[in-house]
Structure formats: C-alpha cells, structure tokens
C-alpha cells in the first residue's frame, strides 16, 4: 500500500491516491478528493444573483472567464434575457482567451512534471502575454468577475484587438517551439504514448467530455453540438484523436489552441458596434421628464419610463418607475455620478436587487476541460434558491482509478496531468 498525495508535487496538494502495488505495477487504486472544498454551491444560496459571479472565478481559476459566462448564461436563460449582440461577441472573446490560457497551462505543467522545464517556460511566457490582455479587458488577471446578468463589466478597451493579435503571434511561436521539442521527442513519447488509455465506450459511460473524450475519437463539443452566444457564426474545427491515450490528449490540446485563436480572429473582424449590456428601453431620468413637461412636450411623457429611486414610486402623477435593470452599471458610472451609485446600490443590496422569475433551468458551455453546466433554481427572490455546478473534471476523476490500474507508478504523472484536474471545480 502506498499513499500518493496530497503532499506529492504531482497531486498539487489536493488529491490523494491510495495505491495497492505489486512492485511498480498498480493493482488497485482509490481516489480521494475533497482537500480543497470551496462550498461554492452553498455560498451561492446566500448571495444575490450578480454577487455569485466572483465565486465562479474560484471554480476553475485557470480559465475563470468561461465560468463567468457559463453562470450568466444559465441565469439569463432562466430569466429569458437576451444579451446585446456586441456583448455576446465580447463574451466569446473572453471565453476563448481563457481557453487558450488553460490549455497552455495544462501542456506546460505536464511537460514540466515529465522533466521538460524548457517547454514550461516557453508556454508560460506565452500565457503571460494573454494574461496581460485579460487584465486589460477585465482589470484582473485571474479573479476576473467579468460578466453581469444581462451583459459584461465593460466594453473592449481601445486598441484591444491589435494588442491581442500581437499576443497571438507570441502564442503561436511558443506552441510551435513546444511542438518541435515534444511531439516527436523519444523520451516524451515513451512516457505518454499508450499510457492513460481509455476507450470510447468507457469515456461516454463515465460522462467524460472535453479533450479527454475527444482524444478517443468522439467529436463532442458544446459549442458545436448546442451552439450558444454566437459560436454558430464561426468557422472552426473540433480536433479529435483515436487512441484515447495521454499523447492524443496532448495533441488535441495543442490543436485546440489554434482553433481558439481562429475563433478570436473571426470575432474581432465580425464584432458589431452597439451596447455591450442590457439597458432600459426608452428610459429617461425624472428631471428630463420634468423638463419635457415644462416645454410642453406632454404627449411624449407617457412614452417613457422614469429612472427614479424606489421610494418615489407612485408619488408623482404621470411618472412610472421602471422595471428592474438586468445589468449593473459600469464602475465609471458608479464612481462618478449619484445616479450610477444609487443604481448599483439598488441592484446589489440584499432584498433590493435583481429579481429572477421563479423556475429552474440548466445551461452549459464548453469549458477548457469539457462541459461546464449550471443548474439554477429561483424562488423569485434576489438570489439563487439552489445552484448546482456540473464540473467537467469530476467525471474524469471518477474514471481515474480504472485508467491507471495495471499501469506503472510513473504513468500516474502524465495521466493525472492530462486530466487537468482543477480542484476548485472538483470540490465545489
């Protein structure tokens, strides 16, 4: 009997494998999770709808923007909210940037754990170029909290597309170097070819998705199978393998980096002008309606809803309070004028914020590791009654014991690396 982890460096401090060995060969394995329990689903029950967004960052902290988008889409589906077209493109751009950083991290870390520090440094340097763009877009590198129910935090910064294209050149260069150093490297291939093998049937039976499933030859990708946002407008391929081993999963991730860059380049060329988030239709401030009345434009007053504080509802004849907004005001508005500050206060404070109609729904996006889903339940209050997350790596971890039984101890390192286990989403 041998404990591998949680203190073993390849287990990242968050997983324990209880191995039964016959020499170096694994006879049986018990996988223990739960060393990084974040209590995401329970925390969500005590937050308002928009305040759950920062918690989603902590699910998969390597590609947090996909978590932000997946959660927002589930809630918007529940509320029957449609985000403006420009906002949908911005969400795609954010998601694909995050997908590339996730794949770069996975390949880099796996290579490092197999002894290739050079590849690690090349790919992490490329990831840094993208992190700088994520920081430019969201104001943060990792915990981005970028989406809002009804839109995103803000528009694309000036010159963002050009800066990203320059970063893409760095990424392609680093991926090319990694390909030259690893793909036909005899030492690397001996460690990954024919190890960590899972059959197509077993992968489907376990509910595995993402690169782990596609390495077996199943071309399932949520972006193509169940298109969301504007993914049906892009031309991209779904890379698949054939053997279901660690080598094919490595090749799938390298190929997916290029496909994400293709999507990003198309998104930058297609993105339309307009609003990035929902705003009240035909809404004016109360003082504007008052001025209209003074100028005799009384026939127009009934056409507009007034943006007023809730305490003024029903106090002035002819002035109607608006429906609730579905998106927080920008920080620039919140910090620079009283209307923005009041609006932000109203939408964030408990028992005062966004109300979602009672009901329940499930929404899914293609995370870096596979299908990332959220099952949201609303009782009509200002926060989730229940929120369940479907983390993609949970199902792969469930199959890990089956995959490594019969293998050597050394095979655990590349196999666990190809799982790309992220404890934040695993131990929700």
370 and 406 co-located in one domain: yes
338 and 368 co-located in one domain: no
Domain hosting 337: range is 283-348
- The string over 205-239, giving b where at least 16 C-beta atoms fall within 10 Å of a residue's C-beta and e elsewhere, is ebbbbbbbbbbbebebbbbeeeebbbbeebebebb
Choosing from 348, 375, 403, the residue where a domain stops is: 348
339 and 368 co-located in one domain: no
180 and 241 co-located in one domain: yes
167 and 307 co-located in one domain: no
146 and 163 co-located in one domain: yes
229 and 130 co-located in one domain: yes
194 and 250 co-located in one domain: yes
Is-cis flag, bond preceding 186, omega within 30?
Answer: no
362 and 344 co-located in one domain: no
Per-residue HEC secondary structure of 389-415 comes to EECHHHHHHHHHHHHHCCCEHHHHHHH
194 and 292 co-located in one domain: no
287 and 365 co-located in one domain: no
Domain count, the chain: 2
CATH number at residue 45: 1.10.645.10
Closest CA to 302 of 321, 318, 288, 324: 318
Q: How far apart are CA 95 and CA 91, in angstroms?
A: 6
Per-residue confidence in pLDDT tens, the chain, 428 aa: 999 989 998 898 899 999 999 999 999 999 999 999 989 999 999 998 989 999 999 999 999 999 999 999 999 999 888 899 999 999 999 999 999 999 999 999 999 999 999 999 999 999 999 999 999 999 999 999 999 888 998 899 999 999 999 999 999 999 999 999 999 999 999 999 999 999 999 999 999 999 999 999 999 999 999 999 999 999 999 999 999 999 999 999 999 999 999 999 999 999 999 988 876 444 566 666 667 677 776 666 656 655 555 444 444 444 333 444 567 777 777 777 787 788 778 777 766 667 788 999 999 999 999 999 999 999 988 899 999 999 999 999 999 999 999 999 999 999 999 999 999 999 98
9 and 33 co-located in one domain: yes
In this structure, what are the phi and psi dihedrals at residue 5, rounded to the nearest 5 degrees?
Answer: 95, 170
- Cα three-residue angle 293-295-298, rounded to 5 degrees: 40
pLDDT reported for residue 195: 95
């Amino acid at each position: 009997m041998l404990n591998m982890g949680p203190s073993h460096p390849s287990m990242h401090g968050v997983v324990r494998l209880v191995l039964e060995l016959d020499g170096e060969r694994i006879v049986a394995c018990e996988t223990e999770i739960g060393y990084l329990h974040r209590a995401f689903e329970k925390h969500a029950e005590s937050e308002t709808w928009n305040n759950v967004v920062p918690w989603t960052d902590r699910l998969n902290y390597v590609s947090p923007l996909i978590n932000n988008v997946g959660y927002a889409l589930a809630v918007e589906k529940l509320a029957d909210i449609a985000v403006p077209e420009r906002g949908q493109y911005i969400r795609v751009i954010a998601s694909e940037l995050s997908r590339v950083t996730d794949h770069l991290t996975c390949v880099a870390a796996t290579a490092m754990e197999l002894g290739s520090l050079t590849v690690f440094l090349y790919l992490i340097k490329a990831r840094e170029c993208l992190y700088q763009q994520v920081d430019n877009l969201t104001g943060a590198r990792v915990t981005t909290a970028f989406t809002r129910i009804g839109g995103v935090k803000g528009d694309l910064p000036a010159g963002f597309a050009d800066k990203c294209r320059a970063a893409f050149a760095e990424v392609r260069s680093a991926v090319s170097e990694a390909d030259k150093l690893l793909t036909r490297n005899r030492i690397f291939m001996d460690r990954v070819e024919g190890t960590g093998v899972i059959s197509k049937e077993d992968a489907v039976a376990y509910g595995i998705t993402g690169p782990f499933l596609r390495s077996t030859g199943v071309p399932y990708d949520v972006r193509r199978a169940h298109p969301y946002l504007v993914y049906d407008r892009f031309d991209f391929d779904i890379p698949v393998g054939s053997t279901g081993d660690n080598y094919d999963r490595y090749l799938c991730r390298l190929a997916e980096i290029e496909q994400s860059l293709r999507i990003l380049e198309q998104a930058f060329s297609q993105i339309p002008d307009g609003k990035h988030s929902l705003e009240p239709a035909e809404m004016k401030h109360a003082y504007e309606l008052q001025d209209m009345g003074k100028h005799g434009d009384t026939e127009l007053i009934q056409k507009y809803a007034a943006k007023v504080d809730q305490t003024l509802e029903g106090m002035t004849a002819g002035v109607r309070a608006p429906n609730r907004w579905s998106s927080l005001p920008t920080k620039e508005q919140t910090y620079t004028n009283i209307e923005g500050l009041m609006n932000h206060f109203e939408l964030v404070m408990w028992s005062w914020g966004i109300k979602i109609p009672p009901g329940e729904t499930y929404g899914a996006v293609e995370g870096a590791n596979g299908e990332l889903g959220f099952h949201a339940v609303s009782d009509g209050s200002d926060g989730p009654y229940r929120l369940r997350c479907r983390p993609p790596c949970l199902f792969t971890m469930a199959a890990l014991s089956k995959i490594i039984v019969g293998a050597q101890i050394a095979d655990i390192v590349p196999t666990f690396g190809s799982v790309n286990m992220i404890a934040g989403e695993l131990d929700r």
